[in-house]
């Protein structure tokens, strides 16, 4: 027993010693983990067109652009819950509520007032509540005349004079008191909470208004003013009158864009939001180039590069690149397609801000790595411009041009393999 204790104590003692482990420098030119490159140049590009839709834009447009884009009307759907009080459209219909006034307000995106412009407001009392969809409605499926709009009122742009250096945006304020009861009446089976704004006269330029995506402060809104009478005590006639304002903002809004006719140039891939030109890029040899890579390779960089005619108006835009989900049927991509037939795998590749001069480099390594894993098939990439300074800008990139080989798209891959 005593001997065992001695052994245990000895073991504990020797385990308490420390060690010094310095890193050693040595020649490590062994073949494990090698870096190599691949270059792919046979890349093809194809254009197709869908109707423009800018429902998620922070701006709404009215008027005619110099390039020929027409924005005939903007359409709004107002939500039935107030954002600044507990009132709803239903509670506003109560007989105890006295509506003093009601107006629909639009805010201009420019802080300089434009004179001489009159706008008309319409509503749709006989059309049911679902007449447009912010993400799907466009000039092909939403016709003003089919909707039977009913005129409400007209208004001009108005700007409160700033009393300091603050920025006051001009607004258009429409009086809607005359139709407010029928507008908010939920007992009406045809209740419609949609409003439409259009210019009374043709506009020589495009005006932009803030949309619901720009935030509560400037979102298009319906303001209803009521007053509340309170007797201060039961024995006297003294009363208190409070004026209350209830705001109901627009949650869905959309300005319709009618694009001009446009012919794409050969050798150029044209992209644009207003024109809704989208691009498809195919790299046919990609599979045969990736499959021979050493096992367990990791793509360190994959730059898909395009060149574009350098023009200051073409810089600073955002390009969304998404892998195509299935085989592209090019025969179905003729003309303006009501629905985009190209399904994509979202959230694999990041949106890229293009601010370079003359060259677009897209990092598609996640896509290539997934192809190498076998999780994704190489059906190509869909290119779209998003979030541009103006939806009416067009962007062209050289694609499969015979003008100059050096302007052709190229894919440069770097990888590391064990």
Partner 1 sequence: MFRLNKYYLFLILLCSSIKGQDVYSAYGLGEISLAHNASVIGAGSIGLMPDFQRKISLNNPTTWMNMPFAYISINYGGVQIQDKLKNYENILSGLNQFQFILPIKGRYAIGIGLQPYSSQLYSLRSDNSEIKYINQDTLNFNKSINGGGGISNFSFSIAAKLTNSEKLALKFNYLFGSSRNQIDFSYNEGNNGIDDDFDGVIDESGENDINYIYNQRNIYDGALVNAYLSSNRINIGKRNLIISLSFSSVLHPFRVSNYSFYPFEDINGNGYYDLNDFPQPAGNDSIPPAALKTELKNQFKPSQYSVGFNYELTQLLNVQTEFSSWSDVSKNKSNILSNINYQLSDYNHFNISAIKFARDLPRFWYEALHFRSGIFFREYHLNKYESNENNITQHSYNDIGLSVGIGVKFGLTKNQLDFGLNFINRSDSFNSDKFITNFNIGLTIGDIWFVKRRAKK
Please give the backbone phi and psi of residue 44, each rounded to the nearest 5 degrees, phi first.
Answer: -115, 150
Q: Pick the closer one to partner 1 by CB: 370 or 386.
A: 370
Judged on CB neighbours under 10 Å (0-12, 13-18, 19+), 229 is: exposed
Query: Of residues 62, 302, 344, 376, which one binds partner 1 by CB under 8 A?
Result: 376
* Other CB atoms within 10 A of residue 50 CB: 20
Stretch that binds partner 1, among 29-37, 75-83, 145-153, 178-186 (CB under 8 A): 29-37
Q: Interface with partner 1 includes 238 (CB under 8 A)?
A: no
**Minimum distance from CB of 303 to partner 1 (Å)?**
8
- Binding-site size for partner 1 (CB under 8 A) equals 46
Question: Smallest gap, in angstroms, from Cβ of residue 19 to partner 1?
Answer: 5
**Rounded CA separation 135/132 (Å):** 9
- Residue 46 has φ and ψ, to the nearest 5°, of -145, 140
Cα angle 51-53-55, degrees, rounded to a multiple of 5? 160
Measured from the CB atom, is 294 or 309 closer to partner 1?
294
The reply to whether 405 sits near partner 1 by the rule CB under 8 A is: no
Task: Report the candidate in 174, 179, 177 with the shortest Cα–Cα distance to residue 156.
Answer: 174
Q: Is residue 4 at the binding interface for partner 1, with CB under 8 A as the rule?
A: yes
Minimum CB separation from partner 1 for residue 381, in Å? 16
Query: Which residues on adjacent β-strands are paired with residue 47?
Result: 279
Shortest Cβ 372–partner 1 spacing (Å): 10
Q: How far apart are CA 38 and CA 106, in angstroms?
A: 54
Q: Please, how many CA atoms are within 13 Å of residue 166, restricted to the half-sphere of its CB? A: 9
Taking the complex as a whole, the smallest distance from the CB of residue 294 to partner 1 amounts, in Å, to 11
Residue 11, interface with partner 1 (CB under 8 A)?
Answer: yes
298 sits near partner 1 (criterion: CB under 8 A): yes
CA-to-CA distance for 383 and 52, rounded, in angstroms?
15
44-49: strand order across its sheet = 44-49, 277-282, 381-386, 317-323, 352-354
CA–CA dist 245, 238 (Å, integer): 23
The CA distance from 302 to 297, in Å, is 13
- Which range of residues in 106-114, 214-222, 311-319, 370-378 is near partner 1 by CB under 8 A? 370-378
Q: Does 66 engage in binding with partner 1 (CB under 8 A)? A: no
The residue from 7, 110, 229, 243 that contacts partner 1 (CB under 8 A) is 7
99, 325, 370, 386: which one binds partner 1 (CB under 8 A) = 370
Give me the 98-117 binding string for partner 1, x by CB under 8 A, dash otherwise: --------------------
**Torsion over CA: 382, 387, 393, 397 (sign):** negative
- Say if strands 34-40 and 44-49 run parallel, antiparallel, or are unpaired: unpaired
Q: Which stretch binds partner 1 (CB under 8 A): 132-140, 239-247, 291-299, 379-387?
A: 291-299
Mapping DSSP to helix (H, G, I), strand (E, B) and coil, where does residue 63 land? strand
- Does 26 contact partner 1 by CB under 8 A? yes
Q: Which window, 71-79, 133-141, 198-206, 408-416, contacts partner 1 (CB under 8 A)?
A: 408-416
Closest CA to 397 of 267, 261, 260, 263: 267
Q: Is 19 in the site for partner 1 (CB under 8 A)?
A: yes
Query: Considering only residues 48, 189, 337, 418, which one is a binding residue for partner 1 as defined by CB under 8 A?
Result: 418
Residues near partner 1, by CB under 8 A: 1, 3-8, 10-12, 14-15, 17, 19-33, 35, 37, 295-296, 298, 300, 365-366, 369-370, 373, 375-376, 412, 414, 416-418
């Amino acid at each position: 027993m005593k001997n065992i204790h001695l052994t245990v104590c000895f073991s504990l003692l020797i385990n308490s010693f420390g060690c010094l482990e310095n890193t050693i420098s040595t020649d490590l030119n062994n073949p494990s983990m090698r870096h190599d490159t691949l270059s792919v140049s046979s890349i093809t590009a194809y254009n197709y067109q869908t109707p423009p839709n800018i429902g998620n834009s922070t701006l709404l447009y009215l008027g005619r652009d110099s390039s020929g884009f027409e924005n005939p009307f903007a359409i709004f759907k107002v939500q039935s819950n107030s954002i600044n009080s507990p009132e709803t459209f239903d509670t506003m219909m109560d007989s105890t509520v006295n509506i003093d006034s009601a107006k629909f307000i639009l805010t201009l995106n420019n802080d300089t007032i434009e004179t001489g412009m009159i706008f008309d407001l319409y509503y749709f009392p006989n059309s049911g509540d679902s007449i447009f969809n912010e993400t799907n409605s466009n000039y092909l499926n939403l016709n003003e005349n089919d909707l039977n709009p009913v005129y409400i009122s007209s208004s001009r742009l108005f700007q409160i004079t700033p009393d300091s250096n603050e920025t006051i945006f001009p607004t258009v304020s429409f009086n809607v008191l005359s139709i407010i009861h029928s507008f908010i009446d939920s007992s009406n089976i045809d209740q419609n909470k949609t409003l439409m704004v259009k210019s009374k006269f043709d506009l020589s330029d495009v005006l932009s208004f803030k949309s619901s995506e720009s935030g509560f402060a400037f979102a298009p809104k319906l303001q209803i003013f009521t007053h509340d009478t309170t007797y201060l005590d039961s024995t006297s006639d003294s009363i208190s009158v409070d004026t209350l304002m209830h705001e109901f903002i627009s949650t869905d809004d959309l300005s319709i864009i009618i694009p001009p006719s446009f012919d794409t140039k050969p050798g150029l891939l044209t992209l644009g939001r207003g024109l809704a030109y989208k691009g498809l890029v195919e790299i046919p040899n990609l599979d045969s180039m990736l499959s021979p890579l050493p096992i367990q390779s990791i793509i360190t960089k994959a730059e898909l590069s395009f060149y574009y005619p350098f023009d200051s108006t073409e810089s600073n835009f955002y390009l969304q690149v998404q892998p195509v989900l299935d085989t592209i049927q090019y025969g179905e991509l003729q003309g303006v397609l009501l629905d985009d037939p190209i399904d994509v795998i979202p959230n694999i590749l990041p949106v890229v801000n293009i601010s370079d001069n003359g060259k677009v480099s897209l990092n598609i390594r996640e896509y290539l790595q997934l192809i190498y894993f076998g999780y994704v098939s190489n059906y190509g990439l869909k290119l779209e411009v998003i979030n541009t300074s103006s939806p009416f800008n067009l962007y062209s990139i050289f694609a499969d041009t015979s003008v100059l080989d050096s302007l052709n798209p190229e894919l440069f891959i770097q990888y590391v393999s064990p």
